[in-house]
Amino acid sequence: MSVLNVMWSGGAAFVSVHKVHRQVLQMGTPGETVETLLLQSGDAAPLADLGRVTALGLSSARIKGAGLLGALQRVRDRRRLAKRLMQQPPRVVLIDGIGVAAFILPLLAALTATRAVVMFHGSKRLKAAHIALLRRFPADRLDLVAVSATLAAELEAQVGLRVLSGRVAIEPVAFRSSLMAREAAQRALGIPPGAGQTIGAVGRLVPEKGFSRLVTAAAGWLLNNPEDRLVIVGEGGGRQQLTALAEKLGVLRQVHLTGHNAEAPRLYSAFDLICIPSEQEGLGLVLPEAVIAGVPVLANDLAVFREQLNCAAGLLPCATEAWRDALNTVLKEDLAALADVQRAGLDADGVWARFGAFYQDLLAR
């Protein structure tokens, strides 16, 4: 094996991260063997055709070494994995974030011909032990990479080590060609036919995605425009809360929680407007996907979104009132004009070219 891709787990909650690693691995040297290792378990469909996918089936406690039993199991698990790596050392190990790095990076220190690349996908405060781990590893065999310049600067300030900005990109021509037509996309989402506008959102149903704020902000518009609807694609623990909120606000009939949909990136044509009320993002694929698909976006004014758009068009203060006012304004205006401004700012073709050059060089070192 030449490239080992180590990730926390599989399943719907990890699809976006799997897609990013897939794009990166595709930039590797042609003909190299690629294997993906999941510390836990679950489906890793986006990675399956790149090479073998193996799941260790470890619990979170075993990976973290939590408690006496977890610590003992962790020692045994790492010993077995270290033996396997020594038998066939990979040339490069691509590591999904600091949690995975804490488990596997110490095992790579003795493999002097192996390089480690730790990819950071989201903003978080690193523990002192994790920072020490990164600083101990031989610097000439370790690259730290963040999926945006915004995240790279934040992490660099924490760890005191160089963090490369490997901004994630989407191949625009292939992405556009994959999109379903509007009616087919709406059928795939189970959206009832209608003449009104469709406000869309995509993401896990968790508090940091801000969907409660979105439902609250959109309620007034929906009540005044009974043919319009809000469609949120994703699954998570917040489903019951969002349903109760929509019912309380009198818009339950117009708010559709479709659940996770593996085809979500092909379904943007179903929407007239995409909303991203996230309170934090490492990068976020929904914004570039929507813009490349020609769908205008409203999003919280996060530094990472400004980085992607190179402008403030469609970016809002993180406040329900601001979102309410923006929806009541934008949905009456020329949505195509906003989409055009955002498309020009995103520069999808240029970003994709730079993405390819960066990761080809990174994996070839």
Reported as a single tens digit per residue, the pLDDT across 165-190 is 999 899 999 999 999 999 999 999 98
Decide if pLDDT at 312 tops 80. yes
Number of structural domains in the chain: 2
Q: Is residue 149 domain-shared with residue 200, that is, in the same domain?
A: no
Q: Is residue 108 domain-shared with residue 185, that is, in the same domain?
A: no
Q: Is residue 49 domain-shared with residue 106, that is, in the same domain?
A: yes
pLDDT for res 188: 94
The H or E element that residue 361 is part of is helix 348-364
Q: Is residue 141 domain-shared with residue 176, that is, in the same domain?
A: no
Q: Is residue 258 part of a domain?
A: yes
CATH at 20: 3.40.50.2000
Q: Is residue 42 domain-shared with residue 70, that is, in the same domain?
A: yes
Q: Is residue 223 domain-shared with residue 338, that is, in the same domain?
A: yes
CA distance 266 to 177: 9
Q: Is residue 95 domain-shared with residue 187, that is, in the same domain?
A: no
Q: Is residue 239 domain-shared with residue 338, that is, in the same domain?
A: yes
Q: Is residue 176 domain-shared with residue 124, that is, in the same domain?
A: no
For 32-48, the pLDDT digits (tens) are: 999 999 999 988 888 98
Q: Is residue 156 part of a domain?
A: yes
pLDDT for res 1: 60
Q: Is residue 351 part of a domain?
A: no
Which domain-ending residue is among 140, 166, 192?
166
Q: Is residue 89 part of a domain?
A: yes
- Containing structural domain, residue 117: 3-166
260: exposed, middle or buried (Cβ count in 10 Å: 0-12, 13-18, 19+): middle
Q: Is residue 283 domain-shared with residue 196, that is, in the same domain?
A: yes
Q: Is residue 102 domain-shared with residue 185, that is, in the same domain?
A: no
Q: Is residue 248 domain-shared with residue 100, that is, in the same domain?
A: no
Q: Is residue 60 part of a domain?
A: yes
Residue 199 φ then ψ, to 5°: -90, 130
> Is-contact 258 233, C-beta < 8 A?
yes
- The model's pTM: 0.86
pLDDT for res 344: 96
For 84-109, the pLDDT digits (tens) are: 999 989 999 999 999 999 999 999 99
Q: Which long-range contacts (CB under 8 A, 24 or more apart) does 76-82 make?
A: 78/103, 78/104, 78/106, 78/107, 81/56, 81/107, 82/107, 82/110
Decide if pLDDT at 365 tops 90. no
What is the rounded average pLDDT for all residues in the chain? 93
